[in-house]
C-alpha cells in the first residue's frame, strides 16, 4: 500500500523536495550566519556594534567618484602589500566595491592574509546607495 501511494503521488514528493531546496538555497549562496556576504543592514549593525572596518577595494578613480562614508580605499591589486589594513586581524572587516564582485575576491585575499572575520557587502556600493546609506565623494 505505501508503495502505491508513493507511485501515485510522486509529483507531490518532487514538489516538496524542490520547494525545500529553494528554501535552503539562499542560506547556502548568500551566506547568512557566518558566510561570505552580508546585507547592507547587517553591515551597518556590524559597524555600529562591533566596530567593523569598511574597506573599499575600488580603484582610486572609482573611490573618488563616490564611496561609503568612513570607508578606507585599498584597491584589490594592493591588498597584499597595503599598510592601510587594521593591525588587529580579529577585527571585523566589511569589503565593498561598486558591484560586490571584486569584494568577494578581496574576502579570499584577506582571509589568506590572516583576517578572521571578513565579509563582502552584498550588492556593493549600488546596494549601499539603494539602502539610502551615506555616500561621499573624495575632495
Residues forming the active site? 97
Nearest to 48 by CA among 136, 139, 133, 113: 133
Query: 107 near 18, Cβ under 8 Å?
Result: no
**Nearest-5° angle of CA 16, CA 20, CA 21?**
120
Kindly give the residue spans of alpha helices, DSSP state H, lying in the chain. Answer: 2-8, 10-29, 40-50, 60-65, 101-112, 124-130
Contacts of 37 (CB under 8 A, 6+ apart): 30, 31, 100, 104, 119, 120, 121, 122
Amino acid at each position: 500500500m505505501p508503495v502505491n501511494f508513493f507511485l501515485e503521488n510522486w509529483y507531490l514528493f518532487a514538489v516538496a523536495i524542490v520547494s525545500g531546496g529553494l528554501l535552503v538555497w539562499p542560506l547556502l549562496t548568500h551566506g547568512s550566519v557566518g558566510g561570505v556576504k552580508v546585507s547592507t543592514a547587517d553591515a551597518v549593525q556590524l559597524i555600529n556594534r562591533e566596530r567593523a572596518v569598511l574597506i573599499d577595494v575600488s580603484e582610486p578613480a572609482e573611490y573618488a567618484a563616490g564611496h561609503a562614508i568612513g570607508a578606507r580605499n585599498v584597491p584589490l591589486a594592493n591588498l597584499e602589500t597595503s599598510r592601510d589594513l587594521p593591525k588587529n586581524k580579529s577585527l571585523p572587516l566589511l569589503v565593498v566595491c561598486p558591484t560586490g564582485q571584486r569584494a568577494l575576491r578581496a574576502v579570499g585575499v584577506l582571509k589568506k592574509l590572516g583576517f578572521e572575520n571578513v565579509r563582502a557587502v552584498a550588492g556593493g556600493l549600488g546596494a549601499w546607495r539603494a539602502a539610502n546609506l551615506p555616500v561621499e565623494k573624495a575632495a
